[in-house]
Amino acid sequence: MPGAPNEATLGFPLHPTAQFIASYDAGRAQRYYLFGSPVSYMELVVYYRKVLKEGGDQIFAQPATHVFEVGRFREDTMAFPPGVTVKDWTMGGSGGYPNPRPGAEPTRFPTIIMIVPPPPAAPAR
């Protein structure tokens, strides 16, 4: 997708299957970026554990949500801690997160990745 953020602009690795969905203003000069993936929640958790060299924490069992906080959170300059969140959208029989691009494949993403880079002036790691 043209204009989609990449690893260099985000400062975080992207799973090869990640498809950019949207970005939102998080406040305090931060944005968060949503990506859909056709691979399973567990596969993405294992991938991010390996590439971030961080175990992260499962913060919810249902729907399964795993957070990797990477970098130091500075309450005075950040809205969110920098990091990666992986969420399972198939819990409870859901078909997944709808792909917002009409006619695009997959039609639904079983897993969503949210990336929150640090504000421009703050180091990621």
Spell out, as residue ranges, where the chain has pLDDT lower than 50. Answer: 122
Q: What is the pLDDT of residue 14?
A: 97
Q: What is the pLDDT of residue 29?
A: 79
- The residues spanned by each domain of the chain are 15-116
Q: What is the pLDDT of residue 2?
A: 58
Residue 95 neighbours by CB under 8 Å, 6+ apart: 108
What pTM does this model have? 0.89
For residue 6, what are its two tokens? 């990449």
For residue 96, what are its two tokens? 């997944």
| Helix/strand/coil percent split, the chain, to 5 | 15, 35, 50
Q: What is the pLDDT of residue 1?
A: 57
Q: Determine if residue 3 is left, alpha or beta; phi over 0 gives left, psi from -120 to 50 gives alpha, anything else beta.
A: left
Contact assessment for residue 52 and residue 63, using Cβ atoms and an 8 Å cutoff:
no
- Identify any residues that bridge with 54 across adjacent strands, giving them in sequence order: none
Q: What is the pLDDT of residue 50?
A: 97
